[in-house]
């Protein structure tokens, strides 16, 4: 039904865990660099995906490539540039997510030429490819300015009550949104955007 073999599911799970950990850490680090140390006190300045993951966001990333992490508390009043600093934090973290994935992508030729013929290398190369593709999709969807997607964090500065309401009530709708997009927009607006990000960075 989802055109996923057992091996692909394992690669997707590993890739989703990696992306959740690296993006969550990048988001917390960007917040700290911009002036808010709060995410570090909340245990979010770590690459441990369990500290960042949200079940529906993780499941949606594995099945439909539409994923998100648990919303992060960032105080715009402590940030350089105030509310605009939230945009800088989110865009910086998403860019870092892509750059980390690109670094893994660039390792592929070296692995193939240095350790060719081993099943471990073949598995690593396939995993790197999964990380790259999922990272491209992750970035596209997390530019959507509503929670639980990363750019929705901007609402916490401009409309905190609305943001709090949406964070509590948008997890299931976001998952349903992912299902709909998976079946209805395979070649619509989203797929070309993901392919463009992938082609640009990888």
- The string of DSSP letters for 129-146 reads HHHHHHHHHHHHHTTSSS
Would the pLDDT of 189 be above 70?
A: no
The pTM score is: 0.88
CB 150 within 8 A of CB 90: yes
pLDDT at 65: 83
Would the pLDDT of 159 be above 80?
A: yes
CB 197 within 8 A of CB 138: no
Would the pLDDT of 175 be above 60?
A: yes
Cα gap 86→46, rounded to integer Å: 20
Would the pLDDT of 184 be above 70?
A: no
Q: What is the Rg, in whole angstroms, of the alpha carbon atoms belonging to the chain?
A: 17
Higher pLDDT, 83 or 194: 83
pLDDT at 73: 94
pLDDT at 186: 55
- The least confident of 17-31, 64-78, 118-132, 144-158 is 118-132
- The least confident of 36-40, 63-67, 77-81, 177-181 is 177-181
The length of the chain, given as a count of residues: 202
DSSP 8-state symbol, 115: S
Could you tell me what percent of the chain has a pLDDT over 70? 91
pLDDT at 117: 67
Higher pLDDT, 150 or 181: 150
Would the pLDDT of 50 be above 70?
A: yes
DSSP 8-state symbol, 34: T
Cα 179 from chain centre: 17
Would you kindly state where each structural domain of the chain is located, as residue ranges?
6-201
Taking only the tens place, the pLDDT of each residue in 76-121 is 999 999 999 999 999 999 999 999 999 999 988 888 887 776 788 8
pLDDT (average), residues 24-49? 97
Would the pLDDT of 1 be above 50?
A: no
């Amino acid at each position: 039904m989802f055109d996923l073999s057992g091996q692909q599911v394992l690669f997707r799970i590993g890739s989703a865990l990696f992306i959740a950990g690296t993006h969550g850490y990048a988001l917390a680090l960007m917040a700290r660099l911009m002036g808010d140390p709060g995410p570090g006190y909340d245990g979010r300045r770590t690459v441990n995906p369990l500290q960042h993951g949200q079940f529906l966001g993780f499941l949606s990333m594995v099945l439909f490539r539409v994923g998100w992490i648990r919303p992060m508390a960032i105080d715009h009043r402590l940030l350089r540039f105030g509310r605009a600093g939230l945009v800088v934090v989110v865009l910086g973290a998403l860019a870092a997510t892509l750059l980390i994935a690109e670094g893994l992508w660039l390792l592929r030729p070296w692995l193939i030429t240095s350790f060719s013929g081993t099943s471990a290398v073949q598995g690593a190369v396939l995993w790197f490819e999964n990380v790259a593709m999922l990272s491209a999709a992750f970035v596209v969807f997390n530019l959507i300015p509503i929670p639980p997607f990363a750019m929705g964090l901007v609402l916490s500065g401009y409309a905190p009550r609305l943001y709090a309401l949406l964070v509590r009530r948008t997890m299931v709708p976001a998952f349903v949104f992912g299902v709909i997009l998976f079946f209805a927009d395979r070649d619509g607006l989203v797929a070309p955007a993901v392919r463009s990000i992938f082609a640009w960075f990888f």
